[in-house]
A and B are shown apart, each in its own frame.
Chain A
Amino acid sequence: MAQSYDRYEQIKRFEKDLSQCMKCGFCTFWCPIYQEEKIEASVARGKNMMIRGLLAGELDYTSEYADRLNKCTLCMACTVNCPAKANIPNVIVAARADTVKARGLKFPYNIVYRWLLPRRRLFGWVVRFASWFQGIFMPKTEGTIRHLSMFLSALGKGRNIPQIAPKFLRQMVPVINKPPAGVKTEMRVGYFSGCITDFVLPHLGKHIIDFLTKNGVEVVVPREQGCCGAPVFLGAGDFETGRKMADANVKAFEGLDYVVSDCATCASALKSYAKFLADTPQRKKAYDKFAKKVKDISEFLVDVLKLPASAYKPSAEAKGKKVTWHDPCHLSRHLGITSQPRQVIRSIPGVEYVEMPNADRCCGMAGAFSVNYYDLSKDIADKKAASIESTGADIVVSGCPGCEIQLIDCMVRNKLPVKVMHIMELVE
């Protein structure tokens, strides 16, 4: 079919990926969504052909089109297994962006993405306000897991998630965190705190900062940093707001050699500013420079800090436990980081590591995807639950708070006695 890119500025940038697909259909085997739905519009080949249909003027920006485009976790399993190496997730993100540009964002995402997420403090207040109602309107569930507050439950649809923390990370730690007395400062890094760590898992952020300072790293937590933008520009295709967030984050970490993140999604989003959001040569340069500084925490510990095995001591929760690792898509396929986290876990004495089958299969979270398609998201997660269960592990760890939230929900629903933790919670 004859295609014209005239009205599709972003898709045009990924013309090569779009045209590289030769429709062999191998992606059907790897796509977590196709494996559940078994329809062609689920999978990279089908989505790409719909986008070609749009370019050819045969399809339009309908709600069906938007729905099929949104129904992708961007897990990249199709891409790494594609014989033609066509990166269809690139095309999908670009197509989302062109859709938003042409048709705008729908309520309530326009409020959340354009207005709330770029304003970290205000977002914090809204979350805090909502948390006051937590437990009043919603029944408590198992242990510390509760149904989330009204505000988030509107998005969460009854998902089991940890409660909003009484104190946010930014209220718990100063901007500058120096190594304790007697420990030489080897390095100075910025710490990027994603929204989930900041509001829901601040103890994790605090723990990581303490671990780093203890090992001779001065940790700066710039107050001007905000959301990484993943739900905004990758998930929703709002590149305009994404650029504002990217610029703010780049500026917040100026003058620091490294930006360390405990969230795979954040790290990969920070690293993909240049790919998706660079609309001027200046931005391209700034985003490229920024991307080089961004390091996932396990990558930082193993490749940059090069900590000796002796630096990893088991935490009280991890001691003597059997642990398995879930590869977040944003870590394994987006950033190519698979050996570092495993090396960290294997270095911890008294922790038994066991590899789960299909450790790198998507957990089905993917931010707004899991809200819009919760049933589908659960079905994908249940496959993960079976993998985890087959290992007999006591603890499943990951490097992405997003995956963690999904895994917690999944363990509770499947009544599995497996604790979900961040990899850094394994070490003291």
Chain B
Amino acid sequence: MLEKKLIAKLEKIVGKGVVLTSKEDLTTYSYDGTTTWAHMPEVVVLPTTAEQVSQILKLADDSKVPVTPRGAGTNVSGGSIPIKGGIVLCTVKMNKILDINKTNLTATVEPGVVLQDFNMALAKQGLFYPPDPQSFLGCTVGGTIAENAGGPYCVKYGVTKQYVLGLEVVLANGYIMKLGGVTVKNRTGYELMMLFTGSEGTLGVITKITLRLIPMPLASKTMMAVFDDMAVGGQAVSNILASGVVPAKIEFVDNFVLRRIEEMMPMGLPVDAQALLLLMADGSPTAVEAETEQIVDTLKKSGAREVKVAKDAEEAAKYWKMRSAGFAATFGAAKTVLAEDVAVPRDKLAEFIGKLGEISERTGFFISNLGHAGDGNLHPAIFTDVSDKENFAKAQEAMEEIFEAALSLGGVLSGEHGIGLEKQRFLKRAMDPVALNLMIKIKSLLDPNHILNPGKIWEEERV
């Protein structure tokens, strides 16, 4: 238990009202978007300034109390769960957009700004920030930096780290450190910003972010392609990329997800299809026309049963809404869903999909599948029930086989969700041991008392 004195000190720093201690409130900060993890914090604090964050961390460091930084808690890795209790430091009240600079094509925001609010503010000025994790309605910009989030747009535009120009980070000892700046090019020393981008709250608390923007593409077209064979769909993706076009998005939905979506929101999807690809071309109107033609042509040559081009924005929106429902379709399908996040080289997509089929047959677990096919990032999911120990253990074994398959093809453990708690068991196999050790050393250097989000990324006994 935390000392009463500590709570009083926290209240002194941020004011009453924003220090939550009731069991009811603590319950609501014990989970994230995963189905298997939960742990109660001992206190939740919602600071509004970097100075307050600094004082909170100083206090926690002096008392050696764990601090789990979080935004909106929409992550799906277990990363924001206070697995060791202590303090949850929630940044959602630091939610000011400080600057949008149309000439410099940059924006500076506080970490608690909700991604969709940010997007809406940018759209008003004809600007665009591509990284689009599908939790954009809830997630905070700070959270997307800490998780180095991706999303459908990343096939063409890259992931979060490609947009971070400057950060203000509060270190475990309370020091408010400034990194980078507002320039696109910056070759001043090590790329320390990248340490914090994707650090999952283990190295510092991000309190200010400067991002690179691009002008909003003038036009876009959405296509849907139907396949009778999943692997053929996977091959089609590789073929498109090889043909010299990089679509803005290439998303993939399998038959299971497709049928679930159709159940949830009937829209006349071809429920007998084994795979659907959703694609988008964007840019100048003439480029979009030409790219669309080329993509449709490649899809047909690659064996698509049917290719549709959305006739207007409304139809396109319908397709993308369908894709974003895929997540709910998968997670609502069983008591516990182990949804993975592997990424494989894009030329190995068809091969990987074939391997998933083999694993499913061998283990007896049905594997549903959707994901960002364009960057080889798939979310195969296994349905189980965490309270059925035997079944759950077997499901985890099947999951391990999926990881092994991805790694053997030169892939990675996590494309965009991060390691958190969900994947730390597999980290050893997915990383060079020296690199893993270096990572832990960096952690110890920046956070000697290991107060920041302890118990995450790597398994504890390695420390």
List the interface of chain A (C-beta within 8 A of B).
1-2, 20, 22-30, 38-41, 45-46, 49-50, 53, 58-59, 62, 64-65, 68, 81-85
Contacts and interface: CB of A to CB of B under 8 A. Distances in A.
A4 to B, nearest CB: 13
B417 to A, nearest CB: 13
B24 A1 contact: no
B262 to A, nearest CB: 14
Interface in B307-326: 324-325
Given A20-B332, A25-B72, A26-B138, A85 B264 contact: yes
A39 B92 CA distance: 8
B135 A23 contact: no
B32 A23 contact: yes
B138 A28 contact: yes
B425 to A, nearest CB: 22
B327 A83 contact: yes
Interface of B is mostly: loop
A46 B20 CA distance: 14
The interface size bin for chain B is: 35 or more
Given A22-B328, A24-B328, 6 more contacts: A24-B33, A28-B72, A29-B114, A29-B138, A49-B27, A84-B328
A45 B337 CA distance: 18
B22 interface: yes
A62 B35 CA distance: 27
Contacts of A53: 24, 27
A49 B31 contact: yes
B25 A25 contact: no
Contact of B35 (A2, A22, A28): A22
A65 B28 CA distance: 12
Given A24-B135, A25-B138, A38 B92 contact: yes
A165 to B, nearest CB: 40
A39 B25 contact: yes
A29 B138 CA distance: 6
A123 B93 CA distance: 44
Contact of A25 (B22, B35, B74, B328): B74
For A39, A58, A68, which residue has the most chain B Cβ atoms within 10 angstroms?
A: A39
A47 to B, nearest CB: 8
Nearest to A65: B24
B387 interface: yes
B23 A24 contact: no
B73 A29 contact: no
B214 interface: no
B298 interface: no
A59 B34 CA distance: 21
Contacts, number: 97
A68 B137 CA distance: 23
A49 B24 CA distance: 9
Interface string B332-369: 10000100000000000000000000000000000000
Interface in B248-287: 264
Contacts of A58: 23, 27
A83 B27 contact: no
B38 interface: yes
A49 B25 CA distance: 10
Contact of A39 (B32, B46, B324, B328): B46
B239 interface: no
Nearest to B34: A23
Given A39-B20, A39-B46, A64-B23, A23 B33 contact: yes
Contacts of B22: 62, 64
B28 A46 contact: yes
B331 interface: yes
A16 to B, nearest CB: 10
Contact of B332 (A22, A28, A50): A22
11 contacts: A23-B31, A26-B74, A26-B138, A39-B28, A50-B24, A53-B24, A62-B22, A64-B24, A83-B327, A84-B331, A84-B332
A30 B117 CA distance: 12
A25 B33 contact: yes
A111 B325 CA distance: 46
B267 to A, nearest CB: 14
Best-buried of A2, A22, A40, A81 by chain B (most CB within 10 Å)? A40
A26 B137 contact: yes
B116 interface: yes
B29 interface: yes
Nearest to B29: A40
Contacts of A45: 28
A400 B337 CA distance: 43
A35 B327 CA distance: 24
Contacts of B46: 38-39
A40 B328 contact: no
A351 B441 CA distance: 71
Interface string B112-152: 10101000000000000000000101110000000000000
A83 B325 CA distance: 6
Contacts of B72: 25, 28
Interface in B26-81: 27-35, 38, 46, 72-74
Interface in B81-105: 92-93, 95
Contacts of A68: 24-25
Contacts of B332: 20, 22, 84
Contacts of B337: 22
> Which of B24, B31, B325 has the most A CB atoms < 10 Å from its CB?
B24
A40 B74 contact: no
